[in-house]
Structure 1
C-alpha cells in the first residue's frame, strides 16, 4: 500500500451493537445491528455500490443539465449458503433520473446509459471489487 492508494475508515464501539465509522476527513456514520435507525453493514455495502455509480453518472450528466430527479435504488437478497455462510445475491442498482425538457436535458438523457455502463465496467471501484471477489484479510492486533 502507498499513501496515494490507501483508503481507510476507523470503527469505534459506542455501545452494545452501536458503532461510529469515521473517515480521515472527519465524517461519521452510525453503524448498528438493524435494531434501530443506524445503518447495518449490509446497508452500507448497498449504499457504497449505488453511491459509487451515482457519483460517476451525476458528475458527467449534470454538466449537460441539472436533473429534476436523481434517485438510485440498490437492492439484493441476503442469503445463507449450504455451508451456513452469509452473503448477498441478486445485487441490482436502479437509476431513476429525470432531466428537464429541452436540448440540454436531451443531451443528458442520451449519455446516461453509456455512463452507467462505463461506471459498472471500469470506473466504480466498489462494484468492480465486489464482482472480482477481492480477498479480505482479518487479524487481531496484539
Structure 2
C-alpha cells in the first residue's frame, strides 16, 4: 500500500490575501476554491510540478488530531527545484522577499551554493510568517 502526502494545511489570517500571495507571487496553481457550508471556505493550491497541495481554510471546526494552528506557526515547509538561482530569481521577480542562496557548512549556514548536490537552499515566509524552504535537488537519474 502506498501512503502519499497530498495536502498540507497552512494557517493564515486572510484566505483571499494568502491565495493571492501563493498564486500571483509564488506561482502556485489554484485548484479549488469552495464553500462546503455557509461560513466555511477551502482553497487548495499546488506548487508547479507537485503532487502535494496546500489548503487555506476558514470557518472549519477543529477535528480530532488536527487542532487549529496559529497563522505563522508552520515552519519548514520544503519544496525542491533543480535550479536554485532560477527559483530564487522567479520568486524575487514576483515580489516575494527571499533570502540569499545558502548552504550548510562546518560553521552553520553560509552564503552561496554548496559544493555537494542537495546542499543549496533559499528561505522565505508568506504574509503571515509561515516559513518555506526551497532546496536544490538534482534531477533523478531517470530524468537526466
- Identify the TM-score tier after normalising by the shorter chain: under 0.3
What TM-score, normalized to structure 2? 0.26
Looking at both structures, which has the greater relative contact order when contacts are Cα pairs under 8 Å and sequence separation is at least 6?
2
* Structure showing the higher helix proportion among its residues: 1
